[in-house]
Amino acid sequence: MQMKLSNLCRNLVAAAAVSGITFSASAADGKINFTGTILDSACTIDTNTANQTVNLGKIPKSSFNAAGAVAAATRFSIVLNNCPAAVTSASIKFDGNADSSDTNILALNSGQTAKGVGIAFYEEDGITAIPLATQSKSITLDTSAGEEPSNSNKMTFVAKYKATQAAVVAGTANATSDFTITYQ
């Protein structure tokens, strides 16, 4: 008798739990509409800027007198060509391994001998930081037809070494970033 009562209690508890879940899952508190456009094609990335090496130079460790100090401001560009008329602007997001001391900047590649430094990204002005994995500001694209390459659009950025520690250790300081272009 006690076993039958125990099974009955277990079944009642399970039924009550399932009915409560079903009730709350079926209640709608709002609605989300998704909109978008599927493009035939996007801009093409100029082959000279799609996969590039940006040389930040040989910087003395004395340039980094404190955590947060920056050095070696170096401009680089990504060029978009043949942008369709449906695309009016673009922004870029730089991705890669975040530095463990400052997750807004790119960590050095594994095996690098320099320590206490990473690479920070900036807008073209060299002042406005672009945190890692965050969209840059959008630029308006030229989508007019013209000579090859048609409607060339240059997106210029600045990379700088940034100290993440008060004491920087000298050595090789290479890093790798992927980038993703978002079109509007």
pLDDT, residue 26, reads: 60
pLDDT, residue 42, reads: 87
For 106, the 3-state DSSP assignment is strand
pLDDT digits (tens, 9 = 90+) for 114-170: 999 999 999 999 999 999 999 999 999 988 865 556 668 999 999 999 999 999 999
Find the mean pLDDT for residues 55-68.
Answer: 96
86 versus 60: which is more confidently predicted? 60
Q: How many C-alpha atoms does 183 have within 13 Å on its Cβ side?
A: 21
Q: Quick one: pLDDT band at residue 28, thresholds 50, 70, 90?
A: confident
In angstroms, rounded to a whole number, what is the distance separating the alpha carbons of residues 43 and 38? 14
pLDDT, residue 143, reads: 84
Find the mean pLDDT for residues 52-64.
Answer: 96
Among residues 81, 84, 79, the alpha carbon closest in space to that of 40 is found at 84
Residue 165 CA: distances (Å) to CA of 98, 123, 159, 171: 15, 24, 18, 15
pLDDT, residue 6, reads: 57
Among residues 87, 96, 48, the alpha carbon closest in space to that of 182 is found at 87
What structural domains does the chain harbor?
44-183 (2.60.40.1090)
* Tokens read off for 10: 């277990």
Task: Tell me the whole-structure pTM to 2 decimals.
Answer: 0.78
In angstroms, rounded to a whole number, what is the distance separating the alpha carbons of residues 21 and 36? 33
In angstroms, rounded to a whole number, what is the distance separating the alpha carbons of residues 141 and 156? 13
DSSP assigned state of 154: E
145 versus 49: which is more confidently predicted? 49
* Tokens read off for 49: 């800027």
